[in-house]
Structure 1
């Protein structure tokens, strides 16, 4: 089998997708940020002599928010992870595709986090930590039960594989 480095999503891997609820969480987060920026622009508009500049900035901000929302939907659908025999594989990205392969023996610890918005939608994020900061990987948008199962499995596999080193 020939491997192409420019095609990082191997077909031989059985990918698990993150929850589609993550799209809603991401869009709400972006909406809150947009609201804060728009409030700041309105305040600047009212307090400034540059009458034409602030409506222009608000329009650009709205266009960027619509574009970023479309990208967010596609980006969440690109997230995936696979548990293989010796490692965890995590993929994400649209324009810049990223494929992280984290050997179980190299994992130092595994975090499960859930912010207020994630908890409201019944989601959690699994964060893997290794000795090399650049190789850390995360899997967002998991049901809390799946996040706990993955954390426990990765921890057990990491301890088991580390004993052989």
Structure 2
């Protein structure tokens, strides 16, 4: 994944410069996984241990086992997300089993939003949401650094206005 200049490639035959998501998104998702699995294990194990007996309290291991299984999957999913800015459009690629690549032409963008919920703000992350005329082509890039999300929003808005004015 490229971490250099966010400039687009000039010629149509050039490969796009792909950028990955920052590791803060992976840390946030893994922390939430551990938190929810721990709470669920406690919510399952405590009542079963008190009312049904200690052997039934072993059922509390199921959420912890599921969390251990999901831990590497979160890493694979995080590594699969990437985006690239090209001269005429934005590419978003994601997915491990079902790979999706979304192409959003700058001239079709109607609204570019930067959002950040309380957990995302705690981890210093933001999400960029792209809205187009067709609802099926709306796209999002989660887990960006707020400065990068704002830079991308401003650049996409500028390019969208320039491309739509030329239509």
Shorter-normalised TM-score: what interval?
Answer: 0.7 to 0.9
* Contact 1:20–1:77 (8 Å) recurs in 2: no
Out of 23, 26, 30, which is 1:27 matched to? 30
- Shift in Å, 1:82: 0.3
Matched residue count: 154
* Contact 1:128–1:138 (8 Å) recurs in 2: yes
Q: CA RMSD in A?
A: 2.0
* Contact 1:90–1:100 (8 Å) recurs in 2: yes
C-alpha distance in structure 2 between counterparts of 1:73 and 1:150, whole Å: 24
Q: Identify the residue that residue 98 of structure 1 maps to in structure 2.
A: 100
Q: Does the residue aligned with 1:111 lie in a helix, a strand or coil?
A: strand
Q: Identify the residue that residue 133 of structure 1 maps to in structure 2.
A: 135
C-alpha distance in structure 1 between counterparts of 2:138 and 2:53, whole Å: 46
- Shift in Å, 1:46: 4.4
C-alpha distance in structure 2 between counterparts of 1:29 and 1:131, whole Å: 34
* Contact 1:110–1:129 (8 Å) recurs in 2: yes
C-alpha distance in structure 2 between counterparts of 1:48 and 1:139, whole Å: 46
State the TM-score, normalizing by the size of structure 1.
0.82
**Structure 1 unmatched ranges of 5 or more:** 1-10
Residues 1-16 of structure 1: pairs in structure 2 closer than 5 A:
12-16=15-19
- Shift in Å, 1:59: 2.3
* Contact 1:22–1:141 (8 Å) recurs in 2: yes
Out of 36, 39, 50, which is 1:36 matched to? 39
- Shift in Å, 1:32: 2.3
**Structure 2 unmatched ranges of 5 or more:** 1-13
Q: Does the residue aligned with 2:148 lie in a helix, a strand or coil?
A: helix
- Shift in Å, 1:36: 2.9
Q: Does the residue aligned with 1:65 lie in a helix, a strand or coil?
A: helix
4+ runs deviating over 3 angstroms = 46-54
**CA-to-aligned-CA distance 1:21-47 (integer Å, 9 cap, x gap):** 211011112122213322321344146
Q: Identify the residue that residue 20 of structure 2 maps to in structure 1.
A: 17
Q: Does the residue aligned with 2:84 lie in a helix, a strand or coil?
A: strand
- Shift in Å, 1:163: 1.9
